[in-house]
Structure 1
């Protein structure tokens, strides 16, 4: 079996991309992951058992997004070597690493900080927004050169494939992320929750559009549970909003199982949480954009809102909660880990033979 080196932007959070890399590590028996920054306490425990090569000191790991002016240079001097092939998870940075071995880039999103700046810049100060805007043309040229060096490019969804073509003029093969239950057993969170509720799983990012989900749940007459780092500031149980912040996988599994509906309100490139909930028999109500067009099959595991408004999303919530749990599970199993890994293995084998 070839020695596979993993690479990822930075391991400082619990998100869909990090979950994919954690699945790779287990399934591919990978022992090494190269990244810009690593904070063991803030990401999946799976990485504690690996050799993590990070370019930024751990004391600064949680400041990585504030280091934007220097990140392109740091990424370009982050060396990936020592194996037969590198499997690269990128949402904007890891494909820029310096690869000494053949590498396959799996793209979760064309770099938001360059090609979806309206999303990324929401978190920047006015001065840094202006600086990023002024330097974008030069940074895009370097980004394109880095992506062209990939021996193969994979996209996680049709949406991402189209964005890759728009951003880089490069074609890519769609390989959906692996979908597995988030935990083998479910455990209730310490906090008591209502008997019936909807849930949204979203970190503190503007493009996740949590306020839309909250407004829609209120209109549907249902409490909403918010799971994700940074969500605590939204907690308002007197208004039916239960913000749990970061939870364990076992707690997330419990929330998925007990929720009436999982809500998707943001601009997602794939929308992994929808399928994680479907595996537990829970249907989805989402806006009709992005990856949700692939992960939600209307009338099977959820419904799309007719428009991105609280009223339309509330209607989708009320319709979705009556869907069959078995049909939800059957749909989610189409996106299995085995299918994902088989396609990855085929691409990596082809690359190693070609180089």
Structure 2
């Protein structure tokens, strides 16, 4: 209905004189009025044409007003109904409101009946319009939420696929490095390839975790370190199993900081393998603890305890550890009281803006 269209009113009342009076009054106000003398006739009119509002009398032959009101309410998208009752029928008016009538008017043939009926009709139509606008707004909100949820699911799937592909590519690089390592005879070059293999492996494990996770915004740090330790131990040629041990609290962390932790742990393990036990191997232990919003990570061995070249200011391992620690906002402490080498890092468990390093 546009602003220029008349309001279509259906007036149902078995009093033809009053119906004629109502028709004349509302047609003077610009309404298009149709009348019916019974509930059955009124329902037939409703099925045959579209009305903006209905005024319905209570006492009629056959179906009374309440029965007719129930039938109107059963129609799809029914128009608002103003119920018309006698002056002593408050009980009937209340029953009509409970049954779905928008308003009621006392039938009084005095001068107030028609203006009151018009006011009730206009109020009922305004209320119906607000209800439709509210329902439309709620439907749009639901549709927008559904679109957002669908986009979020699609984005998560795409991110998992990206992480899967990146992880596969990094695993391929790891395989190439491992193949090259097995064929090289130069010790210094072999050590460099071993270190590169471990660093790539640390990043690859993060992408593998994100691919298999329902939440690409975080990674389980304890599970990630456990997989990383397993891979490093499996790739260590000539070393007996069980030399790497991990004790970790359940900790969730964002992927960027998870990569930094993985790279640090890898560097410290490689450092222990290279320097802690000259001429052999020994235990290396990793501890991960979370308490009161702080994460404490330590890597230790029982080796010779000397400061290795890789931790000198000129060593690339030292530079990588410092860069990743800065990325975490972590403090790094070398425990001189430990009989071997122990490196302890502590940082906040809360996400912070990632600082670019390297």
TM-score exceeds 0.5: no
Q: Greater relative contact order (Cα 8 A, min sep 6): structure 1 or 2? A: 1
Give the TM-score normalised by the residue count of structure 2: 0.27
Larger Rg: 2
